[in-house]
Amino acid sequence: MKSKVYFTKEITPESLIKIYEALGVELDGKVGVKVSTGERGAKNYLKADLIAPLVKKLNGSIVECNTAYPGSRNEVNEHLKTAREHGFDFAPIDIMDAAGDFKISTPENAKHLKYDLIGKNFANYDSILNLAHAKGHMMGGFGANLKNQSIGIASRNGKAYIHSCSQTEDPDACWRVDYKQIDFIESMAEAATAVHNYCKENKKKIIYITVMNAISTSCDCDSNQDDPVMEDIGIVGSLDPVANDQAFIDFVWNSTDLGVEKLKVRIDEKLGREILPYAEKLGLGSTDYELVKI
């Protein structure tokens, strides 16, 4: 049976809520909304006026973890300051690894990571909305739900562990180790699957929405983020993160936009699309989906 991916071309607060409602899962209890609040200097992160109505509807908290690279979000106080500067103070902001992290199991058939390290406060949430912004990425090729769930939910040390393909948990040392690009891509898939499995085992609800707007070749974690290279596409939502990311990739590859070639080059030079079949192999979801327009 194909996974369902719901899609709307409209990118408004109202259409974002419609996508959430179409998924048919009520996020209740303590709700965490995982977004990238954007590095200081970035410009294409999801804006507060777009996402605030849905976050408030869920009575949710904005949840993040500190970055492994030096910048405005690798330490709690500056991270909170940056998030507030970017308008995310319309809801509580929780830097989930402020008090540390904990290990969760990776899939039995994982090739790289022995475990995943995620922010300690992730355990406090009953429901998670993985709310991603679609874009390119200088290391992963592209970022959407899978990156938001792997690197995004990993603690600072966990990010180092993923980036080094399990060689170190040291955020300073991780940038000096050698690794194969495909191993990093697959490590992200393993971490994303670990989070999904942890939620399932602990009866935490989790759903996936990606906003495909202001699409550049670089990530919201880039303080010198480039301008968008193609027109806005819309919003996709699914209970299957692999299907949701596959839908974004398919929209890109089917686009006739003149600027899309730059994004395709970025994605493929970093083997970005390889995360999808590997995540499927790990049991995270399916690359086969049905697009349902709303």
Of the pLDDT bands very low, low, confident and very high (cuts 50, 70, 90), residue 247 is: very high
pLDDT for 71: 82
pLDDT for 225: 86
**For the residues 184-202, what does the mean pLDDT come to?**
98
Q: Which of 139-143, 155-159, 220-224 has the lowest mean pLDDT?
A: 220-224
Query: Whole-model pTM?
Result: 0.97
In the predicted model, is pLDDT for residue 47 greater than 90? Answer: yes
In the predicted model, is pLDDT for residue 139 greater than 80? Answer: yes
Q: How many domains does the chain have?
A: 1
**CB-hemisphere CA count at 13 Å for 237?**
25
pLDDT for 223: 79
In the predicted model, is pLDDT for residue 222 greater than 80? Answer: no
pLDDT for 161: 98
pLDDT for 137: 94
Percent of the chain with pLDDT over 90: 93
Cβ–Cβ under 8 Å, residues 114 and 166: yes
pLDDT for 237: 99
Nearest CA to 268 out of 181, 165, 153, 149 is that of: 181
Task: Quick: pLDDT tens for 55-112.
Answer: 999 999 999 999 988 888 989 999 999 999 999 999 999 999 999 999 999 999 999 9
Task: Quick: pLDDT tens for 194-203.
Answer: 999 999 999 9
In the predicted model, is pLDDT for residue 124 greater than 80? Answer: yes
To the nearest whole number, what is the mean pLDDT of the chain? Answer: 96
Contacts of 223 (CB under 8 A, 6+ apart): 39, 40, 41, 42, 71, 72
Q: Give me the CATH number covering residue 118.
A: 3.40.50
Percent of the chain with pLDDT over 70: 100
CA distances from 11 to 209, 230, 251 (A): 12, 15, 15
Domain that holds residue 113: 3-293
Cβ–Cβ under 8 Å, residues 244 and 196: no
The length of the chain in residues reads 294
Task: Give the integer Cα–Cα distance in Å for 234 and 218.
Answer: 19
pLDDT for 245: 98
Task: Give the integer Cα–Cα distance in Å for 217 and 136.
Answer: 4
